Amino acid sequence: MTAGNSLAPVTPAPFAGAAAVTRIADTRPIPMSALVSEVSRPRAIVIALHGGAVTSAYFDQRTQPRQSLLRAGAALGFTVIALDRPGYGASAPYADRMATAASRVDLTYAAIDEFLAGRDRGVGVFVLAHSLGCALAIQMAADERGRDLLGLEISGIGLRPHADAATFMGPLTRGEPPVAAAAARANLRDLLWRPPHLYPAGAAAALALSSAPGYEGGDVGRWIGSFAGLAARVRIPVHYTLGDHERVWSSGPAALAEVAALFTASPRVVTVEQPEAGHNLSLGLSAMAYHLKVLAFTEECALAREHAGPAPH
């Protein structure tokens, strides 16, 4: 190789995905808010559902643009809508009107239709959820309307609390009141961000926290009892991710396989143990790798939909 053909070092440019904007869906009488990164001719639509006590900003790490799902999705041709789940964001003042799972599923589907009214949906709608957001996502997928979805990603959730989280999560999974002790809550916060070297500096401080709606405490206990029945009704492809350093829910290959086995009607179930990742997959240093895996799965679902023809309505 001559000197004229040598390659100069390349400094990566900032991630160039579209910046997210806040929108409100007029789903009367309860408005729904979202962060949206929209492209003009989307390959597909990705709906992102955050976990407990945070907001849609979980999916738009603005201090680290490469970690943003909204920017990554838009850069690859997907419109991404990160919803503030029922009881969060614009719908927070109306939380007492959404006590049932069915009401929350209906409201979420109505918000999606409102946000996408008159807009190109590409090949279809894919749902991605994290932590407690997975309860809503699986309820949506198990609903009759879920047959039209392209696919489903669930992450940061499981069937049993990790041993390290038993003090706080154990009572919740048994349907008991949450442990109120400050030490127990501090322990949970520590588990959410462990180990610290897997997260960029300031990630926890930059996250927009939120009070959780009243119904959510009971959702953890109901989750364990209802998960198997709901999963068996899901008839779309499923992608399931746990970080290799997950410490809120039981993790590892056996835990992944146990959850995957519940989706008996799904045509395809993929499990991933994301390397170098803790509970907050979309905020860690490996967030780009995680998002690319899920978006690749979304593309595979889009190809399968194209080959199979349009979904029934």
CB 42 within 8 A of CB 8: no
Instruction: Place 186 in a pLDDT band, splitting at 50, 70 and 90.
Output: low
Asked whether the bond before 29 is cis by omega within 30 degrees of 0, the reply is yes
Q: Is a pLDDT exceeding 70 seen at residue 309?
A: no
Least confident piece of the model among 72-81, 104-113, 193-202: 193-202
> For the stretch 239-264, what's the b/e string if a residue is b when 16 or more beta carbons lie within 10 angstroms of its beta carbon?
bbbbbebbbbbbbeeebbeebbebbe
What domains are there in the chain, each with its CATH number?
A: 19-307 (3.40.50.1820)
**Of 152, 119, 108, 148, nearest to 38 (Cα)?**
119
The pLDDT value recorded for residue 53 is 87
* Strands 45-49 and 79-83, sheet pairing: parallel
CB 271 within 8 A of CB 260: yes
The pLDDT value recorded for residue 1 is 40
pLDDT tens column, 195-204: 999 999 888 7
